[in-house]
Amino acid sequence: MKTIWKIIATFFFAGFFPFAPGTFASLIIVVLYKFLLIRLAWPVYLGLAVLLSAAGIQACTRYAEECRQKDPSRIVVDEAAGQMLTLIAFPGDWTALLCAFLLFRFFDVLKPFPIRRLEKLPRGWGIMADDLGAALFAVILARLYLLLR
């Protein structure tokens, strides 16, 4: 069972990418979205994102315990789930996808209030919650922009 948690937590080993593994995991999701996931009906897509997030919480908890670290850099399922949730607000053209990617990464790295506080949640919840919060900020900003333009 340890292996399945490692596979999920590292998002199918994307977390072992030699530099910026979280950014790499986000890019994987963008490409998957462009060529595959965008074809899904939005309830199916949202269900898949929620399923990835729920599995991510458990996997992050287990893998972090195995590594004996609070948030190992190899855990990138949080970035994958956050990017996936961000994309729900964007069309599939490359400009919009780049915007979704940059907005999510901006909020994930900067962690403005109250996102940073979400990291303090226990175990896998804290690992996942800040990225889901960053996704929420990115979606809200994108929706505001689309509403006001």
77-120 tens-digit pLDDT: 999 999 999 999 888 899 999 999 999 999 999 999 999 999 99
Answer yes or no: is pLDDT of 145 > 90.
no
What's the pLDDT tens digit per position in 22-51? 999 999 999 999 999 999 999 999 999 999
- Count the Cβ atoms, other than its own, within 10 Å of residue 97: 19
Intra-chain end-to-end CA distance of the chain, in Å: 49
Structural domains counted in the chain: 1
d(CA 83, CA 87): 6
Distance, in Å, from the CA atom of 102 to the CA atom of 75, rounded to the nearest integer, reads: 20
CA dihedral 59, 53, 102, 120 (to 10 degrees): -70
User: What sign for the dihedral angle of Cα 68, 25, 78, 61?
Assistant: negative
Which residues make Cβ contacts (< 8 Å) with residue 108, sequence separation at least 6? 22, 79, 82, 130, 131, 134
> How far is the C-alpha of 62 from the C-alpha of 74, rounded, in Å?
13
pTM of the predicted model over 0.75: yes
- The percent of residues above 90 in pLDDT, for the chain, comes to 83
Please report the pLDDT score of residue 1 as a whole number. 59
pLDDT of res. 58? 97
**Domain extent at residue 45:** 2-12+21-148
Distance of CA 22 to the CA centre of its chain: 9
